[in-house]
Structure 1
Amino acid sequence: MIQKIVQFIQGLLKTFQIIRNYTFLVMMQSNFFQTG
């Protein structure tokens, strides 16, 4: 039971990291296009 909860939290953290990395890349690209 506890193991499933831990796995669920780890999955959420991984998904959050991927979303954060993706939004960071999009922001970097938009800034690059605005300045360039």
Structure 2
Amino acid sequence: MLIIRYSKIITLTAVSFYVTLVAFGNLTDYQTNFAFV
């Protein structure tokens, strides 16, 4: 059961890191995103 817990922790960490990178990219590179809207 411990391996399931660790895999959930690793998955959550990876997803949150990815979401943080996407949000940071959207906030810092506004002009590129504005061209697509």
TM range (shorter): 0.7 to 0.9
Q: Which runs of 5+ in 1 are unaligned?
A: none
What is the RMSD of the two structures over their aligned residues, measured on CA atoms?
A: 1.3
Matched-pair identity in %? 13
Q: Which consecutive aligned stretches of 4+ in structure 1 deviate over 3 angstroms post-superposition?
A: none
- Structure ranking higher on relative contact order (CA contacts 8 Å, 6+ apart): 2
Q: Which runs of 5+ in 2 are unaligned?
A: 32-37
**Which of 18, 26, 32 in structure 1 is aligned with 2:28?**
32
What's the TM-score, normalizing by structure 2? 0.76
